Each structure stands twice: as structure tokens, then as C-alpha cells.
Structure 1
């Protein structure tokens, strides 16, 4: 089925693109399902499980997730409740302490 896209207006092109992307996603999902079935059949035929082949991926090589708190590396001597992990932008209290002559090692928690 050939579509003459030169005769389509903007809204028709947008609709055609959306339908094509939707169909592309459906085809990809079908392909993934077929590959998954083949893998499971092969594993079953060999008497293996996914963990036997790939290991327990839930803990192996695990990285910290975004938003995971990091231990405080520096503490404000004037207000011990204020801490900084050493990552990201320096807090104002840290900069003020450095300007006042303190060294980074003096602020270690």
C-alpha cells in the first residue's frame, strides 16, 4: 500500500506518523515476545534457568539509584545539623567556612 504523502495536509501527516509509530511498537513487542519464547524453550531444553545463564542480575553489578542518599562527608562546625556529601554544588556554609580560613579537612564529619 503506497501512500502519496505529498497530497496530505499537516494533520493527516501527523495522524499517519502516529499510526506508523504505533504499528512499529506493536511489531517490536511481537518480535520481543517471539525471541523470549525461543530463549525460554532453549533454556528448558537444556534444563537451565535464566539465573544459571546470566546470574542473579538483581544484585550483581548493582549501581546506586538516583536519589539514593550518600553519607555526609562534611559537617558545619557552627551547626552540626548541616552536612554535605561532597557531591554537587557546595553549600553556602561550606564556602563561608573556607573564606573564614578553614580548610576542607577541618570540616570533615
Structure 2
């Protein structure tokens, strides 16, 4: 058998296996529903739907900036996460991270 024929056979086998798996899942689903109904319950009685999530997602608190660009005070970094490009460039130019610390009094 050639490689092309084997690949075709493999694809066909995979399609058959997937169809068989889908049929097994559908049969299982039908059997479960029948068991529930035979006991006098509904699907909702056994598996109530989850309550929808309401409200706004919680926001992460704003973290104070620890480092500031010397020429552009609008560029800051909290010290968390990836270093901003301006700071990477400054360090590559030989400047120390401590030079950009925001001094608090």
C-alpha cells in the first residue's frame, strides 16, 4: 500500500471513529433522559440551569507607579509585568533602573 493510500485509509478510519463516538454519545444521552423520565423527573429537576452571572466583573486595583521616564513624565511603570520599551532602551544605553525610581517623601 502506498503512503497516499494509507493516509486516505487513516482519514476514513478517523471519520468512522468520530461518527461512532457521536452515535454512542447520542445513545447515552437518550438513555439518561429515559432513566430520568422513568423515575418521574424532568431534566431540569436533575440538572437545573446555572444562574446567569450578573453584575460587573471585579476590577484589579490600580497600582502606583514606581518608575518614571526622565524626559516624559507621562511614561511610568509600576514595576509589575514586562518592562516598557522606553525602560528597556534606557537600560540598554547603560542607565540603571534605580535612576528612574519615583522618589516619595
Aligned residues: 83
Sort the Cα spacing of 1:93 and 1:75 in 2 relative to 1 into closer, same or farther, 3 A: farther
Structure 1 gap segments, 5+ residues each: 1-7, 60-69
Q: 2:74 aligns with which of 79, 98, 105?
A: 79
- Superposed CA RMSD in Å reads 3.8
Alignment pair present for 1:42 and 2:41: no
Q: Which residue pairs with 1:31 in the alignment?
A: 24
Structure 1 distance, partners of 2:22, 2:33, is: 16
Q: TM-score, normalised by structure 1?
A: 0.51
Q: Which residue pairs with 2:46 in the alignment?
A: 52
Q: Aligned with 2:83: secondary structure?
A: coil
Q: TM-score, normalised by structure 2?
A: 0.53
Q: Which runs of 4+ in 1 moved over 6 A?
A: none
Structure 2 gap segments, 5+ residues each: 54-58, 91-95
Which structure: larger Rg?
Answer: 2
Structure 1 distance, partners of 2:46, 2:24, is: 24
